[in-house]
Structure 1
Amino acid sequence: MKAKQTHWAKKTENGSYMAIRILLILYRFGGKWLIVVCLAPVLAYFFLKDCSARNASMQFLQRVHQFKGVESPFKRKPGYWQSYQHFWQFALAALDKIDGWLGRIPQSSVTYGGSLSFENIAHSGKGALIIGSHLGNQEVCRALVRSKYPIRINILAHTQHTAAFNRILKESSSDVDLRLIEVTELTPAVSVMLSDCIERGELVVIVGDRISAQAPDRTVWASFLGNPAPFAIGPWVLASVLQCPVHLMFCLKQQDGYSLMFEPFSECISMPRKQRQLIITEHAQRYAKILERIACRYPLQWFNFYDFWQLPGAEQYKEHSGDNSSN
C-alpha cells in the first residue's frame, strides 16, 4: 500500500525561513563562495535524509528520460548522481534568488527570449496576469524585471514562509520592493483588489504548477510527460475574473547568465457557466504542454520535489479516464 501523499505546502516549505536566514548571514560575512563550500555537506545530509524528495527527484528525471526517448537530455537512465545534481541546482537557485533581489545579477548576463518582449508588456499600459511555475527561478525573473522596468508586480503567495523571505531580504536591503499577497481563496474582496491592480496597469503573478494549499481537491487533470497530473484551477478562474491578457513566464539558468522567457497565452479568458470545466481543462492542458516542453530542456531546474502525479483519488481518475499509459 502506498503511503499517504503529503501536500507540497507541508513538505517543501518547512525549513525555508531558517535556511534563508542562515544563507544571508553567511553571504554577508563570507560571500557566495563561502555558502557554496558550506552547502556541499549540508546538501549531502538532506539528500540522504529526505528519501521522499530524493525519490520524487529521480521519478521526475526518469520520466523525462523515458518520455523523450532517443532525444533524452540524459545519456542513460538517471540515478542517484543525477538526483544529487538536481538537489545541487535547487540550492544554487536559492543563492541566485538572494543575488537577484539584492541587485547582484548584472543585466548584461540576462537575455530576453520567448515570443513576447517584456518591454511590450511593460509599455502596453495594460495590466496582465503572469503565470509562472517552479521550473527555473521566477524570483530572479521578478527581481531582474523589477530592476529594469518601473512596473508594480503583485505576487500571489501560498504560504507565510514566502512573506518571511520578503522580510528577511528587506533586512538586508531597503531597495527590495515586493508586494506579496497572501491569498487563501478567491473571495470577492480579493477579486476587487486584484482587479484594481489590473486597472492601474500592474502585473499580478501566480504559479500554475502547484495545486492549492488550502483546497487540494480543486484540481484539473492534464497530461504531463505522458501521464495525468493534477493542476490547480486557480490561475484560470482568476484570469476569467480579471478579464485581462494572460502571459507565461520562465527564467532559466544558462552557463553565462539567465534567459527570461515570456510567452503570450490568451488575450482574455471567458468562462460561460456551461463550458467552465471544459475551458479550464483546455487551458490547463495547453499550459502543461508548454511546461512539459521546457522542463524536458531544463530537467535539473524543475523544483517540485514531491510526487507531481499523485493526489488522493488519482487511481480512481485513471480508472474512470481509461488512461493506461506507462510512458
Structure 2
Amino acid sequence: MVEKHWAKKKERGSYWGIVIVLRAYQYGGHWLMRLILAPVITYFFLTGGDPRRASLDFLRRVHSYAAERSPFTAEPGWRQSWYHFWQFGLHALAKIDAWVGKVSKNQVRNCGDTHFDDLEKQPQGGILIGSHLGNLEVARALASKKYTRRMNVLVFTQHAQSFNRALKDVNPKVDIDLIQVTDIDMGLTILLKERIEQGEFVVIVGDRTSVTQPGQTIEQDFLGKPVSFALGPWILASVLECPVYFLFCLKNPNDGHYDLYLNHACDQLKLPRKSRREALQPVLKAYSETLEKLAMRYPYQWFNFFDFWKKDSQ
C-alpha cells in the first residue's frame, strides 16, 4: 500500500474535540486533561497504523544511527512508540500552558548563539525557520509577552488553525498571529517583506515538503539517509533578503525546563536562480545537522508522524 503525502492525509480530530479538551484544562487543570488525554492518545495509537509505524521507524532509526550514543538502552518497541504518542498529547498541553501564562521565562534556558534580546535591538526583522521537533509555541508565547516584535507564523494545516481558534475561544486574551497559507505566492511574499522591513519576524517550519508542490524539494542527509526538504522556506528567505535564524524549543526531560536554541544561520541567503540548489546546500546542511542532533537528544519530541524518508513524487 502506497502511503499518501503528509498533506493529503485526513487530519484526525475536530475543532469541537479540541474545545472539549481545552475546557477540561480550563476547569480541571492538568490532572483532568491528562485523564482525558490518556484514552484519546491510546485510541489514536491503536487505530493509527501509519503514524504508529512511522513513530517506531523513527525511534529505531535514532537508536541505530546514534549507536553507543543512543538515548535508548535497547531497540525501541511498541511501549516506546506509545510513549512517543503520549508526549505528543503533552505537547498540546504545553502549548496551552505557554499561552495562558503558566510558563515563565525562568523555565526557559537559552542554548543557542542568539537571544531574543538581540532580535529586539535590530532595526530589521528576519525569518525564523523551525520544525515539528519540540514546541515552538513556548518560545513564541514567551517572546510575545516580553518583546514588542510581532511574529507572523505561517501554517499549512487546518488542524493548526483549529487549535489556535479554539485556544482563543477559551482565552480571548491570547494573541496569536497566524497566516493560513496553501502556497507561498507573490502577494504573500510582498506582505511578509513589508512586515520584515517594519521589524517583524516570520516563523515557518523547514521539515515538511510543500502542500501544493510536493516535488519542489532538495535532498539532504538526515539520520544516515537522504531526506527531501522543501525548497519553499529557503526561497522565501532569499526573496525576503533578511537575516535567517534556526529556532527550536524543547523540553528537557531531566529538569522540566525548556531548552531554547535560537541560532543565527546567515545575514542574507542568496540563491542565484541558475545555481540555487548548490548555493542552498551549506545552510540546508547546517539546518539538517542541527535537526538531527536535537532529534537524537530529544527523540520523543519528534512530531512528524509519517514516513519522513519517503521521496515525494516529482
Give TM class, smaller chain: over 0.9
Q: How big is each residue's C-alpha offset from its partner over 1:70-116, in whole Å with a ceiling of 9 and x where there is no partner?
A: 11111111111111111111100111111111112122222222111
Q: Show the counterpart of 1:302.
A: 302
Q: CA deviation at 1:10?
A: 3.4
**2:52 corresponding residue in structure 1:** 54
Match of 1:204 among 188, 202, 205: 202
Given that 1:53 and 1:306 are in contact with CA atoms closer than 8 Å, whether structure 2 keeps it comes out as yes
> Counterpart in 2 of 1:77?
75
Q: How does 1:45-124 map to 2 (within 5 A)?
A: 45-124=43-122
Q: Which residue of 2 aligns with 1:290?
A: 290
Corresponding position of 1:278: 278
**SS of structure 1 residue aligned to 2:208:** coil
Q: Which moved more, 1:83-92 or 1:4-13?
A: 4-13
Change (3 A) 1:19 1:229: farther
Q: Secondary structure at the match of 2:202?
A: strand
Distance 1:253 1:13 in 2: 25
Partner of 1:324: none
Q: Please say if residues 131 and 205 of structure 2, whose CA atoms lie closer than 8 Å, have aligned partners that are also in contact.
A: yes
**Do the aligned residues in 2 keep the contact of 1:126 with 1:202 (CA within 8 Å)?**
yes
Q: Secondary structure at the match of 1:287?
A: helix
Question: Structure 2: how far apart are the matches of 1:248 and 1:19?
Answer: 33
Q: 1:247 aligns with which of 245, 268, 273?
A: 245
Residue 156 of structure 1 deviates from its aligned partner by: 0.7
Secondary structure of 1:97 counterpart: helix
Residue 262 of structure 1: aligned partner: 262
Distance, in Å, in 2 between the alignment partners of 1:12 and 1:207 is 20
Mapped partners of 2:7, 2:313: distance in 1: 19
Deviations 1:116-144 (A, max 9, x none): 11110122222010001000001122111
Residue in 1 that maps onto 2:229: 231
3-state secondary structure, aligned to 2:114: coil
- CA contact under 8 A between 1:220 and 1:280: conserved in structure 2? no
The one-letter amino acid of 2:80's match is Q
Residues 260-297 of structure 1, C-alpha deviations (whole Å, 9 max, x = no match):
21011111011112211212344322211110011110
For residues 231-277 of structure 1, what are the alpha-carbon distances to aligned partners after superposition, in whole Å with 9 as ceiling and x for unaligned? Answer: 11111100110000000001111233212210111110111122112
1:320 paired residue number: none
| Corresponding residue number in structure 2 for 1:138 | 136
Task: For residue 312 of structure 1, report the CA deviation from its aligned partner.
Answer: 4.2
Amino acid at match of 1:121: L
CA distance in 2, matches of 1:11, 1:230: 18
The CA deviation string for residues 182-241 of structure 1, in whole angstroms up to 9 with x for no partner, is 222222211110000110000000000011111111111110000011111111100110
Aligned mates of 2:105, 2:10 — CA distance in 1: 30
Which letter maps to 1:200? Q
Structure 1 Cα separation of the partners of residues 223 and 256 of structure 2:
29
Alignment-derived partner of residue 220 in structure 1: 218
1: distance between equivalents of 2:118 and 2:195? 18
Distance, in Å, in 2 between the alignment partners of 1:129 and 1:56 is: 30
Superposed counterparts of 1:190-201, under 5 Å: 190-201=188-199
Unaligned runs of 5+ in 1: 315-327
The total of aligned residue pairs comes to 312
Question: Normalized against structure 2, the TM-score is what?
Answer: 0.95
Spell out, residue by residue over 1:140-195, the C-alpha distance to the aligned partner (whole angstroms, 9 max, x if none).
22111111212101011102332222221221222211111122222221111000
Sequence identity (%): 46
Contact 1:221 1:281 in 2 (8 A): no
Q: Alignment RMSD, CA only?
A: 1.6
* Alpha-carbon distance in structure 2 between the residues aligned to 1:225 and 1:231: 14
Match of 1:184 in 2: 182
How big is the shift at 1:12? 6.9
Residue type of the alignment partner of 1:307 = D
Aligned partners of 1:5 and 1:311 also within 8 Å: no
Write the letter of the residue equivalent to 2:128. I
More off after superposition, 280-289 vs 11-20: 11-20
For residues 32-52 of structure 1, the C-alpha deviation after alignment (integer angstroms, 9 at most, x for no partner) is: 111112222222221111111
Q: Distance in 2 between matches of 1:32 and 1:139?
A: 18
User: What amino acid is the match of 1:45?
Assistant: Y
Give 1:151's aligned residue.
149
Q: Is contact 2:183-2:211 (8 Å) kept? A: no
CA gap of 1:12–1:120, structure 2 versus 1, over 3 A, is: farther
SS at match of 2:53: helix
